[in-house]
């Protein structure tokens, strides 16, 4: 399937949905149509989907925000656009279905902001991580000051934005921008391998892992421990827990349906 504007390709492969950012002539720069297409998809994820892989067409994940749309906006228009972006990409971060980013080429600016919302990130060695907004006279507006700084720390993000420094895939893994590093051309295959593994988990537990850990990370330690106990109680009293424990005792892989 294609989004109506062809900027987002959607392909179902069994329990995995593959999303391809499809503006290769612009290195998949994120324009309003592409953000809206992502918003529409994550607002109504197919019920059969157990994992989602996001990649970019033409050798690049995304070179960032399409600045051609932002040269003549007033301050309140910029703020409204940023808040809409926050709402749209939050659907990726809060998706109950795990999202795996397959990153190649440019992963810059807004592209890195989108990647930072994904729950598992695979980078090729030749990836170029960069936050060049400071060099262009603008500030981040897609959530990077929160999400990327949580991954690498405010100090590191400050330096990236002040200097326009670029990190490779291996450097990005060391910092926390990626979880896995693979050789050039292998990110998508590795992302699907991980997606297939994740898709075999209990969908309920996958949702708990994504939602609960993110919320617990913002709580005080005691509140977090209480939320953990509540989540554990919910998870261990349902049919998936019964199947998981039965499969363990019977020495077979679980079948969560």
Active site residues: 113, 133
Task: Order the strands of the 166-167 sheet from edge to edge.
Answer: 106-108, 128-130, 166-167
Residue whose entry in the numeric block shows the structure tokens 């324009």? 31
Q: Which residues contact residue 178 at a Cβ distance below 8 angstroms, ignoring those fewer than 6 apart?
A: 103, 121, 122, 123, 127, 169, 172
Q: Which of 71, 74, 72, 62 minimizes the C-alpha distance to 34?
A: 62
Rounded to an integer, what distance in angstroms lies between the CA atom of residue 99 and that of residue 210?
A: 10
Long-range CB contacts for residues 147-153, cutoff 8 Å, separation at least 24: 147/93, 147/113, 147/116, 147/117, 148/112, 148/113, 148/116, 148/177, 151/116, 151/175, 151/176, 151/177, 152/176, 152/177
Are 151 and 176 spatial neighbours (Cβ–Cβ below 8 Å)?
Answer: yes
């Amino acid at each position: 399937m294609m989004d109506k504007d062809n900027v987002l390709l959607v392909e179902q492969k069994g329990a995995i949905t593959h999303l391809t950012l499809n503006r290769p002539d612009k290195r998949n720069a994120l324009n309003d149509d592409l953000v809206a297409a992502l918003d529409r998809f994550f607002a109504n994820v197919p019920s059969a989907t157990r994992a989602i892989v996001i990649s970019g067409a033409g050798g690049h994940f995304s070179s960032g925000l399409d600045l051609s749309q932002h040269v003549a906006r007033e301050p309140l228009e910029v703020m409204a656009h940023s808040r809409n972006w926050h709402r749209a990409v939050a659907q990726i971060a809060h998706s109950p279905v795990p999202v795996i980013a397959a990153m190649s080429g440019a992963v810059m600016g807004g592209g890195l902001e989108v990647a930072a919302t994904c729950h598992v990130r695979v980078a090729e060695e030749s990836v170029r991580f960069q936050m060049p907004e400071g060099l262009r006279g603008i500030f981040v507006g897609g959530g990077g000051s929160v999400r990327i700084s949580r991954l690498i720390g405010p100090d590191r993000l400050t330096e990236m934005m002040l200097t326009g420094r670029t990190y490779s895939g291996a450097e990005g893994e060391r910092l926390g921008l990626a979880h896995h590093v693979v050789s050039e051309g292998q990110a998508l295959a590795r992302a699907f391998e991980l997606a297939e593994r994740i898709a075999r988990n209990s969908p309920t537990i996958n949702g708990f892992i994504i939602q609960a850990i993110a919320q617990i990370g913002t709580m005080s330690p005691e509140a977090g421990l209480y939320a953990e106990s509540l989540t554990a109680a919910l998870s261990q009293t349902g049919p998936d827990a019964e199947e998981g424990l039965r499969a363990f005792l019977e020495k077979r892989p679980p079948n969560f349906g």
